[in-house]
Amino acid sequence: MRWENDVEVGRWIRERLDPGFETMHGVVPRGFEAYARIFHPAWVRSVSGGGVPTNDELRAMPEDEEARILSGLRDEQATWADAAAAFGTVLHPLAQWNRIVRTPEGEDWRHRRAPDGREFHAPIEGDLPPGILASVAEHLVAHTTTPDDGVAGVWEGWGGLLGGFGSTGRAFLTFTGDPEEAHAAMLAESIHDPFNNPYQKAVWQDGVLSREISEGARLQLPQRNHVLFAAPPRTFADPDWVAFVPWSDKTAEGFPPGALHPNLIWPADRAWILVSEIDFDSTIVAGSAALVSALCADERLEARPIPEGANLQWDADEVNR
C-alpha cells in the first residue's frame, strides 16, 4: 500500500457526480446498477437497561443513591431500528436521524431522551467502526475481479492528517481520549509562536502524512478533495486495518495506532465504490444488484437499498414528520 500521486485514476468519479448536494450524487457517482445505504451505529445510555435520571433528579438523590446510579450507567451500540422502536417512528431507506428521534425544531438531535428514559446519541458522521467496515469489505472483495488492486481516498481536511506551516490540528488525533485536553493542546500549538515570536519565520509542522504527500496532488471532486492511496480492497476486510494503512497515526504515546476512516474506496475494475461522506451518518455503496442484495442481507449490518437519485439531506425524511 502506498501514496498514489496520479490522481487521474479518480477522474471517472468526478465525471459522474452532480455539482450540488440536492441528491446523494454530489458525492456518490451515478451510473451504477444499485445502491446500498449502510446506517452508522448510534449509541444508547441506560442504567441496567432502564432510563437515565436527569441531572435534576440526580441532584435530588441521596449521595449513596446517586453514586449507585452513576456506577450503573452503561453505553451500548444501538441500531437505527432500536431508536425507531424507542421513539415510535419508522425506519425506512431514506430515514433521517433527527426525525427518527423526534427532534423538535431548535433542539439538539445529537442527544435525545426516549420515552422510556434511555438517552440516544447520534451516529458518527463519515465514520464506520473498523469492525463494521471489515464486514462490508468482505462483500466488496467478493464482488470485484481486482480484490488486490484498488484505491482509497482520505479527505484532505481532517485535522492532523496533513502537515503545514503553523498548527496542523494534530492534537485531535493524538489526544482522542480527552477532547478538552485535545482542544487545549491545539490552542497552545496555534497561538504560542504568533504571539510570543511575531517576527519568527513560520515553521513546518508535521502531520500524520509526510511533507511530500502533504504538498502533493489531490483528487479534486465538486465537494471535497482527497489524498489517494493505492490500497487493495482486501485490506479493509481485516478489522485491524487501522494499524497498517499509510495514514495510520502511530506516534501518540499511550494510545494504540489510529487511522481516519477512508472516505472513498474503489477497486481497479470499478465494479463498485464505497463513499463515506464526512457529513453523512451513513455510508453508501454503489455497485451491482447482487452486491447490494448481499450487503442488505447481512445481519451484521444495518443496510437498506436506495434508488439512484436518493436525497439524504436532513429534511428529506417524508415519513417521520
DSSP secondary structure string for all residues of 15-81: TT--SSSSSGGGTS-S--SEEEEEEPPEEEEEETTBPPPPHHHHHTS-HHHHHHHHHTEEEEEE-HH
Amino acid at 300: R
Q: Are 46 and 53 in contact (CB under 8 A)?
A: no
Residue 201 has pLDDT above 80, yes or no: no
pLDDT-based confidence at residue 260 (cuts at 50, 70, 90)? confident
Least trusted range by pLDDT, from 24-28, 145-149, 214-218, 246-250:
246-250
Tell me the pLDDT tens digit for each residue of 243-255. Answer: 889 998 876 555 6
Least trusted range by pLDDT, from 4-13, 18-27, 51-60, 89-98:
51-60
Which of 224, 226, 223, 222 has the alpha carbon at shortest distance from 213? 226
Tell me the pLDDT tens digit for each residue of 160-195. Answer: 899 888 665 554 444 444 444 544 454 444 444 444
Q: What is the pLDDT of residue 191?
A: 41
Burial 256-269 (b: 16+ CB within 10 A, else e): eebbbbbbbbbbbe
Burial 92-101 (b: 16+ CB within 10 A, else e): ebbbbbbbbb
Q: What is the pLDDT of residue 65?
A: 53
Of residues 52 and 125, more confidently modeled? 125
Reported pTM:
0.83
Least trusted range by pLDDT, from 12-21, 90-99, 155-164, 172-181:
172-181
Cell of 125: 458522521
pLDDT-based confidence at residue 59 (cuts at 50, 70, 90)? low
